[in-house]
Amino acid sequence: MSAAAKIEIERAGAGNIPALARVWHDAWHAGHAHLDPEIAEGRPFTFFEARIGSGIDRMAVAMVDGEVVGFSGWEGDGIGQVFVAPAWHGRGAAAPLLAAAEEVLKEQGHSLIWLQCRVGNARARRFYEKHGWYVASEVEADIGTVTGRQPIMVWRMEKLLG
């Protein structure tokens, strides 16, 4: 990675919304569509675009040369999203995004935090485990689509903050 490709983490703002929607859509489809093709059909770009702004005050973005390449989001004692544009997979953006969300939750006083990782998404599970997370259980959850909520199986992953 060259000096020109330095990844900077900052809090998200309203001006990031269009780029965040694109990252979320593209990254979700790259990592999940093969696991849930029927659900993927119900998650077009407009689905992500309509929802991304609702959590903007609880998000961090990864920026490279002024471009949004990824984001993380949190709520309560959990991390709801860590998504990186497919072109940036494996290039060092995910780890600082995860760390940023973990740090906020630690500052809020949470000692045990959680996230959900789609069963079958082995790449994401390995990433989280590399960063100190463990699978606490496998549970049924649901995921939104344009036609409503659909059931999926997830690994509930947890991490103790030191």
pLDDT per residue as tens digits for the range 42-75: 999 999 999 999 999 999 999 999 999 999 999 9
The residue count for the chain: 162
Q: What is the pLDDT of residues 108-133, one digit of tens each?
A: 999 999 999 999 999 999 999 999 99
Q: For the stretch 90-122, what's the b/e string if a residue is b when 16 or more beta carbons lie within 10 angstroms of its beta carbon?
A: ebebbebbbebbbebbeeeebeebbbbbbbbbe
How many independent structural domains does the chain possess? 1
Instruction: Provide the whole-model pTM.
Output: 0.94
CATH of the domain at 53: 3.40.630.30
Distance CA 156, CA 134 (A): 8
Residue 93 DSSP label = S
If one counts every other C-beta atom within 10 angstroms of the C-beta of residue 24, the result is: 23
Domain that holds residue 12: 3-160
